[in-house]
Structure formats: structure tokens, C-alpha cells
Structure 1
Amino acid sequence: MTHALTSPVPPAAGADALDPGASAAPASAPPSEPEALDSDAPLVPPIEPEPEPPPGYQFNAPVDVRSLSLALLALFAGIAVLHWAAAVFIPVAVSVLLTSALSPLVTVLQRWHIPRWLGAAFLLLGIVGGLGATAWQLSDGASQVVESLPVAAKKVRDKLREQSGNKTPSTLETVQKAATQIEQAAAENAAPPATKRGVQRVQIESAPLNIRAYLWSGTMGLLSAVGQFTVVVFLTFFALASGDVFRRKLVRIAGPSLERKKVTVHVLNEISGQIQRYLLVQVLTSVIVGVATGLAYAALGLQNPAVWGVFAGVLNLVPYIGSIIVTGASALVAFLQFGTFDMALAVGSASLVIHTLVGNLLTPWLTSRTSSMSPVAVFVSVLAWGWLWGLWGLLLGIPIMMGVKAICDRVEDLNAVGELLGN
């Protein structure tokens, strides 16, 4: 009876209950490691190359059309403002360049216990006085060169007509004669009939030459140039006398964080350093071109070689165009003086060789050490700023773009622009 009421114990449970170590041993045994964890097998599978896209595949990249449109509108608005207010921005840009170039000299004078305002005044007066004395010494020769250019051009035209071997008029003269005959025939055929009663005859006459208007426009242009020069001198004086006041203000405006202030200081230092090195390279190459041109023209016997040397040195500051002007003008004057194409070709070739050697060998080597701008970006910048500001744009375009590149390299959102401008 007692055996019937007792429930049998399962074998597994009974075994576990009687020997607890038997059940713990299999549970604590580590599982078998997969083959991938073998010491000889690689842990990371090899990366297979992606297949090339099929023909006609289009790269889908997210483009923020709204931001791009706003950036283009801001760019066009800035260009319009720069063109409209060129009379204000050009003196400011020239003053910034002169301040960057003369600031180290004023700092040296300040170390010699000379106040900044006195050192700035001394430098500016010396520069203005030197330019005035040089212009006064070369004024007679410069006027002779300018007056000889139209005469030289007329002589070249006559010489070419003589060497053509026929006395027939040129194509331009034939066209002008035909146009005159057509105008006379039209005037005869269009003679007005007898006027009717009550109708007043109206005859249009061309206005006579107004000498006062030409004199007034020339005087106003001269006064405008003198006024801009005065503005540049005063702006440069005030900027040199103030020292690092504006630099500290820009650092303060950048923000309270130390990182922003460091970035602003780096940008300002890089802009100043690049402008100083660029101006130093331009002055050095201009002096070399001027001296070499003057010596070469003196050896060839051309009149006023010192004037031509100064012209060549000054126009060397205008990229690509200054050398063409000097070469063509000197060849014309040489033909007027010597009367042969051989001497004109010799003078023009001498100028071309000097500008080619300096412009293609020395200037790129020195510029590559002072700036990291691409030659294509330099050429496009010269064209764009020349279109925007004329001659002043040709002179100021490269330094302005160097400053723009320095800013774009330090601002994350503008790194793409800096990459386009760089080498």
C-alpha cells in the first residue's frame, strides 16, 4: 500500500539531486569556438572593389538650391555695389595695400623711440616727394615720348604703303571715298521740294566744337585724380598711426571663444604676410625690368632711355598688359627715330625678351614662394577686376584675391572656394 502512494523520481532529476557536480560540469563547459576565431584566419573579410557604374549612370548628390541661389544673389549684389561705389572702394583698397607694405617700417621707427604718427608722416612725405621729384625730372622726356607716338604711327602707315609697291589707295580710303559719294548722292536726291505755305522748314546743324567743355572735363578729371590721391595719403597716414587698433577690434568682434580669436589672428597675419611678400616681389621685378630696359635701350641708341625704363618698371605692375604696351610703344618710337623696321624690331624684341625672362622665370618662381594661388585663378582674377575697376582693378585684383583665399582657407563653409583658387 505504501509502495503505491510513492511517486517515482525521474532518472535525470534523481541523478542531479544525488550528484550535483555531474550537472554543473556540462553547464560550465565552454562552447565550441567557430572557425573564424582561429589565430590563422583573418578577422576582417577582404574588401572587394565596387563595380564600375554602367554607362548613362547619374550621380545623385543633394544640392541645396535655395542656399545656392541666395549665394549667387549675394555675389551679384556685391559686384554691383563694388562697381557702383568704385570711387570709395578703390582708395580704401590702395590704402590697405600701402598700410600693409609700410607698417613694418613704421614699427622699426617706433622701436627707435619715434612716435608712430611721426614715422608715418615721415615715410609718406618721403614717398610723395620722391615721386614728385622723379616726375618733374622726367616730364620733358615723357612729353616727347607721348607726342611722338601719333607721328610714329602715321609714319609706319606711310612706310607700309610705300613698300606695297603700288600707288593705289588703301581699302580704308576706298571705303571712305565710296561712303562720301553715297552721302552726296543721297543729299542731292533728298533735296526738299518747295515748302508749302504755313510749313516752317527745319534744318539740323551740328554743334560747333566747344573748347570750354573739353577743358572743363579735362580739369575735372585731373582734380578727381588729385582728390583720390589725397584721400589715399590721408587714409594711409591714419591707418599707420593707429597701429594695431583695427586688428584688435576685429579679434574682439570675432567672438568670445578663444578658437575664433586664434582663427581671426591667423587670417589677419596670413593676409598681411602674403600682401607684403607680393608687393616685395612686384617692386623687385619692376626694378629689374626698369633697369634692364633702360640699359638695353641706351645700348641700342634709343632716345630717353631713362624714361622708357621708368615706363617699363611702372607698367610691369600691370600683369600681362603692361609689357605689351611698352613693347608696342617703344617699337613705334624707334621706327620714328631710326626710320627702319629693323631697328624697331630690335627695340621691340629687346623689351619682349626682358619681360619674357622676368615674367616667365623670375616672377613665377618668386610668386610661388609667396602665394599658393593657381595661375589660372590669377589670370581670371586680373580679367574680372580689370573689367570691374579698369586699370586699378588690374593692379589690385591679385592682392584682393590673395586675401579672399586666405579667408576661404580658414572658414569651413568656404573651403571649396579656397580649393578652386589654390594650386
Structure 2
Amino acid sequence: MTEEQQDVAFNRRKTDQQPPLIDAFNARNASLIILASLAGIFFIDWAQSVLLPLIVAVFISYALDPLLSPFDKIHIPRPISAAVMVTVLLAIMVSASIPLQREAIAMLDKVPVAISKFQRTAARAPATEAGIIEKAQEAAKQIEDSTSEKKVRTPGVTLVRVVEKPFNVQEFLMGGASAVLVMVSQSLSALLLVYFLLAVGKLYRRKVIRISGPSFERMRKAAQIMDDFHHQVRRFLFVMLLSAIFVGGFTWLAFWFMGVEQAGLWGVLAGVASAIPYLGPILIFIGTGVTAFIQFGTLDMAFLVAGVSLVITSIQGNVLTPWLTSHLSSLNPVAIFVGLLFWGWIWGPVGLIIATPLLMVIKSLCDHVTNLRPLGELLGK
């Protein structure tokens, strides 16, 4: 027997000795994985008040950390430079919100006029033939009236009428106030965490590298993972910044050319909303359409203005952002879409914003850990 035939026979015996895929499948391990996944999802939802500000603060600190390099070169203490950076950031946000607040108040003052105009237009509109839904409702009401007339009152039985509880404005406002209070508290928590993360600098990076020891190879791999995390998050934030500038700039120019009032306000709102996939463009589409109807009083202009905003956000969402993301990350579109669904379901609009950077971090971790490489393969291109 030749050497080649011996190798073929050896490989055949080795293959025959391997258990089939069904036999290798361990139901107990699969059950543990499923239970652990469900427990993890429950914990993420339950600990939202803690995890959400923490993750947002980490991402913001990654974005602001390179801006502190000039302070480090002149040996300014990190707590002082972090305080200066956070103060400057808040000052920019407050100064930019003052003119936008004036435009928002001017736009809200026109809402009652637009409502009365819409009511007068609807009152002057000619009566049209009832549609299928109106006819079905009328038929159902006639059937209900006819059956109620045939009811026989049983002696000794008291008829009970169910009265719906009226709408309570105070309860509605209190519920909305509690939601606003939670949002404000989480924002303040995230802001404080940003300051502390910037103040400590690379302290936790050094601690993670030291914990991953004692071998030099393990410490080097931990440093590579941390550096990869920083690069992935900064790339995503760079894509978000370019997308927001594109949407905000072109929305402002298009609305200014069409004569839409508060064009600058809508440019800023469109740029900020572009960071929320799917939900943000829909809200801008509805808002710009209503605003155009308030200003011009015609449905044609309302659809035209809303359509322009939809075209701009569609170019950003379907052309610009996917092209930039494909060059700066290794995620496939299906993984991104599923991640958006999951994190949007867990954490709402904020979950939609942080879904992509979280997936990029998870993909980077899976690529460096041997046991997690199959999951990284599913997330990759």
C-alpha cells in the first residue's frame, strides 16, 4: 500500500470514529444556554436604569477622550481638564438651544390657528359617501339597537350599566411627569459618569490589562481588545456625526429654499433624529408635514415638504450610512437589523441609538476570544 493510500485510509478511520452531529449535540448544554440567555435578557431589562446611563457614558467618554490629549501634554491634572471639557460641552449645548427655543415657541404659537383653520376646512368640505368602515359601524349599531329592544327584563334582576371612567388630565400629566423625571435623572447620571470616566483616564484600562495576566501574552491580548473597543466606538460616532451633518445641512438648505419657516430648527431636529434608526425619520416626516400644513394651509405643500425630508433621510439611511459603516465595521446588515430590533425592544429609542456600537464591541470581543468566534462569524460579513 502506498503512502497516499495509507493517508486516505487513516483519514477515513478518523472520520468514522467521530460521532455524528446529532449524537454530539448535547441537549443539556443547549438548555443551559437558553436559560442563561433568557436570564440575561431579563436582567438587562430589569437593570435598565443602571446599565443604560453607564453604557451611554462610556461611549461619550470614548468620543471626548482624544480631546483631552492637549491637556495631558501640558501636564494638567485629569480631573481639571475633564471638568473643563464637560463645562464647555454644556455651555455649547445651552447656547445653541436658546435660538432654537425661540423658533420652537414661534412654531407652537401657530398650532391653535392651524387647528381652527383645519376645522373650518373640514366643515366646508362636501359630504362624501360613507366608506366601508362607516357602513359597517352603522350596521353594527343597528344590530345592537335591535337586539337591545328585544331584551326581556327578568323580575328580581337589577340591570347594571357600565360607565366608562372619564379621562383624567391630572393622572395623565402625573404619568408624563414621572417619565420626564426618570429621563432627567438618567441624563444627569450619564453626565456625572462621563466626568468620572474622563477624570480617571486610562485607569480602568490598566486595571483590566493587569487582571488579565500574569502572562505577557494574555496582557497583550487584553490591550488589543481594549484598543479595538475604542476604535470601533469612535468609528461609529464618526459615522453618526457625518450623517447628522449631512441630514441637518441639506434639510436646512431645502426648507430655506422652499420658504419653510424655522428651517434652522428643523435642520437641527432632523440631524439629531437621524441618529435614531427608522423611528427618527418617521417622526421628522410627520412633523415637517404638519408644520408645512400649518404654514401654507394646503395638503400639497405639506406632502411636498414631508417628501423632501423623507428623501434626505432615505439617502442618509440607505446610501451614506451603510456605505460608511461597511468601510468602518465588519458587521453584516442582517446582524445590524436584528440588533436594532432587540435593543429597541429592550431600551426603546436609546436602544436603537446604541445598538450598532454595542454590536461592534461584541463582534470585536468575539473575534479575540476563541470560544466566541462562532458568534463573531455570525455577526460578520
8 Å Cα contact 1:289/1:355 also seen in 2: yes
Residue type of the partner of 2:278?
Y
Q: Deviations for 1:130-152, whole angstroms, at most 9, x for unmatched residues?
A: 22333332224335656878967
Query: How far, CA to CA, are the matches of 1:183 and 1:397 in structure 2?
Result: 50
For the pair 1:285 / 2:247, whether they are aligned, the reply is no
Aligned pairs for 1:121-200 (under 5 A) are 121-143=83-105, 145=107, 155=118, 162=125, 167-178=128-139
Cα separation, partners in 2 of 1:271 and 1:61, compared to 1, 3 Å: farther
- What residue in structure 2 maps to residue 380 of structure 1? 338
Q: TM-score, normalised by structure 1?
A: 0.76
8 Å Cα contact 1:82/1:89 also seen in 2: yes
3-state DSSP of counterpart to 2:43? helix
Query: How far, CA to CA, are the matches of 2:53 and 2:80 in structure 1?
Result: 22
3-state DSSP of counterpart to 1:372? coil
Q: CA deviation at 1:292?
A: 0.8
Task: List gaps (5 residues or longer) in structure 2.
Answer: 12-19
- What residue in structure 2 maps to residue 39 of structure 1? none
Aligned pairs for 1:338-353 (under 5 A) are 338-353=296-311
Q: CA deviation at 1:184?
A: 5.7
Q: CA RMSD in A?
A: 3.5
> Based on CA coordinates, which of the two structures has the bigger radius of gyration?
1
Residue type of the partner of 1:330?
T
Q: CA deviation at 1:118?
A: 1.6
8 Å Cα contact 1:96/1:236 also seen in 2: yes
Query: How far, CA to CA, are the matches of 1:146 and 1:183 in structure 2?
Result: 43
- What residue in structure 1 maps to residue 47 of structure 2? 85
3-state DSSP of counterpart to 1:99? helix
Cα separation, partners in 2 of 1:70 and 1:140, compared to 1, 3 Å: same
- What residue in structure 1 maps to residue 181 of structure 2? 223
8 Å Cα contact 1:149/1:329 also seen in 2: no
Cα separation, partners in 2 of 1:408 and 1:362, compared to 1, 3 Å: same
8 Å Cα contact 1:148/1:333 also seen in 2: no
Q: Deviations for 1:348-379, whole angstroms, at most 9, x for unmatched residues?
A: 33223322333333322322232111111111
Cα separation, partners in 2 of 1:124 and 1:69, compared to 1, 3 Å: same
For the pair 1:118 / 2:84, whether they are aligned, the reply is no
Q: CA deviation at 1:168?
A: 2.5
Report the count of equivalent residues. Answer: 369
Q: TM-score, normalised by structure 2?
A: 0.84
Task: List gaps (5 residues or longer) in structure 1.
Answer: 1-33, 37-42, 51-57
Aligned pairs for 1:328-343 (under 5 A) are 328-343=286-301
- What residue in structure 2 maps to residue 359 of structure 1? 317
Cα separation, partners in 2 of 1:68 and 1:257, compared to 1, 3 Å: farther
- What residue in structure 1 maps to residue 284 of structure 2? 326
Query: How far, CA to CA, are the matches of 1:260 and 1:304 in structure 2?
Result: 56
Query: How far, CA to CA, are the matches of 2:190 and 2:287 in structure 1?
Result: 30
- What residue in structure 2 maps to residue 76 of structure 1? 38
Query: How far, CA to CA, are the matches of 1:146 and 1:182 in structure 2?
Result: 45
- Percent identity reads 36
Q: CA deviation at 1:169?
A: 3.6
8 Å Cα contact 1:101/1:276 also seen in 2: yes
- What residue in structure 2 maps to residue 63 of structure 1? 25
- What residue in structure 1 maps to residue 16 of structure 2? none
Q: CA deviation at 1:60?
A: 5.5
When structure 1 is superposed on structure 2, of 400-409 and 127-136 the one drifting more is: 127-136
- What residue in structure 2 maps to residue 406 of structure 1? 364
Q: Deviations for 1:139-171, whole angstroms, at most 9, x for unmatched residues?
A: 24335656878967x949x77x95xx7622444
Residue type of the partner of 1:168?
E
Cα separation, partners in 2 of 1:147 and 1:194, compared to 1, 3 Å: farther
3-state DSSP of counterpart to 2:24? coil
Query: How far, CA to CA, are the matches of 1:146 and 1:420 in structure 2?
Result: 48
Q: CA deviation at 1:175?
A: 4.7
When structure 1 is superposed on structure 2, of 348-357 and 287-296 the one drifting more is: 348-357
Aligned pairs for 1:190-269 (under 5 A) are 204-269=162-227
Query: How far, CA to CA, are the matches of 2:167 and 2:315 in structure 1?
Result: 48
3-state DSSP of counterpart to 1:138? helix
8 Å Cα contact 1:149/1:332 also seen in 2: no
